[in-house]
Amino acid sequence: MATYNTTIGRIYTTPHSKNAWAWLNAAGGWRKIDGTSTDGHTNTHLVLTAARDKGSTIRVDTNAADTLIVAAYL
């Protein structure tokens, strides 16, 4: 699991279920928001969007493969 203290460069989403991504400036790349649960996916997306809007530094935890965002702390 990787942990980044980062700002969010971009947010990407599609109309498909549980398909949202965030560009982590500290990691230099896109990470998909984990889709384990619908509420968790939505809540994480909202936190990442709030951080992007405010330009805030946020803590983002990813899975072991460093491909999915599993938690975000604003």
Instruction: Locate the domains of the chain by residue range.
Output: 3-73
Residue range 3-73 in CATH 3.90.1560.10: no
Per-residue DSSP letters for 6-54? E-EEEEEE-SSTT-EEEEETTTTEEEEEP-S-HHHHHHHHHHHHHHHHH
pLDDT in tens, the chain (74 residues): 899 999 999 999 999 999 999 999 999 999 999 999 999 999 999 999 999 999 999 999 999 999 999 999 99
Which pTM does this prediction carry?
Answer: 0.92
